[in-house]
Structure 1
């Protein structure tokens, strides 16, 4: 049973990545088009799946939902802090 475990893990990882590629929004996928990612994940199971997870998967920046960073404010600039004094 233990010798089949790596094969099962790779198969499950590949299935997970194929489903994730299919559900990803086309404009948010990074580096390559979705159809090419699906081909790579299916044809090269372990390497393709890991490449999708690290390089192709949509992130907050590619989705456009990244929140802009606001500089830290001093306590005397914070109205809520001053109201609580």
Structure 2
């Protein structure tokens, strides 16, 4: 029973490590070339997959957090310059709207200007 469980666990670990190795970009592979990692993972049960998972792949970003790397443009809601310009545009439109509303409500209208008795 235990031998069967260990065999299935070994196969699952090997398949997982092999899939991870094959899908890893070449610039993230550490130590030896990717093809050598594939051979190591397949031919050395337990040792190959565990070694790949521990040291074979550069899993961390520069600050120690594993996150996807973006090489292309960022989304507009993540761009600080875009957000700043958007905020300035909204404030300018509000000021213009207030000026128009104040211009429509002349000093003689009941809600604009001094109250007449």
Deviation at 1:2, TM superposition (A): 3.3
User: What are the ranges of 5 or more consecutive residues in structure 1 without an aligned counterpart?
Assistant: 69-85
> Do the aligned partners of 1:24 and 1:58 also contact (CA within 8 Å) in 2?
no
> Do the aligned partners of 1:14 and 1:45 also contact (CA within 8 Å) in 2?
yes
Question: C-alpha separation between the residues in 1 aligned to 2:14 and 2:29?
Answer: 17
Question: C-alpha separation between the residues in 2 aligned to 1:19 and 1:36?
Answer: 14
1:57-72 to structure 2, matched below 5 A, reads: 57-60=57-60, 65-67=61-63
Identify the residue that residue 80 of structure 2 maps to in structure 1. none
Query: Which structure is larger by alpha-carbon Rg, 1 or 2?
Result: 2
User: What are the ranges of 5 or more consecutive residues in structure 2 without an aligned counterpart?
Assistant: 65-117
Aligned residues: 64
Identify the residue that residue 55 of structure 1 maps to in structure 2. 55
TM-score by length of structure 1 reads 0.68
- After the TM superposition, which segments of 4 or more aligned residues of structure 1 sit over 3 Å from their partners? none
Identify the residue that residue 25 of structure 1 maps to in structure 2. 25
